[in-house]
Amino acid sequence: MRLKITESKNAKSLYVIKSVYKKATKSNTSKIVEKLGTYEELKKKLNGEDPIEWAKKYVEELNRKEKEKSEDIMVRLSPMKPLEKERTLLFNGGYLFLQKIYYELGLNKLTADISLKYKFEYDLDSILSRLLYSRIIYPSSKRSTCELSSRYIEAPDFSLHQVYRALEVLCKESDYIQAELYKNSAKIIDRKKRVLYYDCTNYYFEIDEADGLKQYGIGKENRPNPIVQMGLFMDEDGIPLAFDLSSGNTNEQVTLKPLEKKILS
């Protein structure tokens, strides 16, 4: 910035101007930053001080302040200084994109209804949302999911043992959740039901003996462990409609009709 003095027949005016580069015309031009006033006006205000000398000092001060604002800021970090224990310095914000879908599907309202039914103290919404986000972002065990959740911007409000308790409730309410999810998803997108796809898969368990649904059968990984079978219906777009679990020793050919009745209901 610099001082500019313009003279006319009646007065001498003082301005602070600044050079500006225009990309469109690839040329330099000047713009008025501040009009200080006429020579006579400033002389009256400054109690006899020379207006031009005062204006030069004023412009120097403006340039100094502008330079301070544009200066690089140096942050000194000592490699010898220990970090605070258990203090999170890195946060994961990628789940916020998934959070929008979570609320659009009304899963927060579902968990609220289920919580009223069972009247437990832990936050089912916090648990279910973190299980879903982590399954998509970084699939891992329940313990690892709890650890990953602590690095989200919004801290989780649950402990590991509460996650296991919540899984039992989610299992009991599986049909209700699937039915509500279908209705809520139909409000967001067009569910194409003219053609349905069905497929089965299975999951093994590292246990010594068969128990409940976990039975010995032909596993996709050819492991000598008890398995549980899962049948899944999808619409034309490949979006899940409904699933069901059956024991690992069940022939998958007979799992279609029961799930077909379930999906219609």
Decide if 64 is inside a domain. yes
User: Chain-centre distance of CA 84, in angstroms?
Assistant: 26
Q: Is 33 exposed, middle or buried (0-12, 13-18, 19+ CB in 10 A)?
A: middle
Rounding to the nearest 10 degrees, give the CA dihedral for residues 153, 159, 164, 168: -80
pLDDT band at 204 (very low <50, low <70, confident <90, very high): very high
pTM (predicted TM-score): 0.63
* Mean predicted confidence (pLDDT) in 53-76: 82
99/56 same-domain check: no
- In the chain, the number of structural domains is 3
Residue 36 lies in domain: 2-70
Asked if residue 14 belongs to a domain, the reply is yes
87 occurs within a structural domain: no
| pLDDT reported for residue 235 | 92
Please report whether residue 75 resides in a domain: no
Residue 254 lies in a domain: yes
pLDDT digits (tens, 9 = 90+) for 137-191: 889 899 998 888 888 888 888 999 999 999 999 999 999 999 999 999 999 999 9
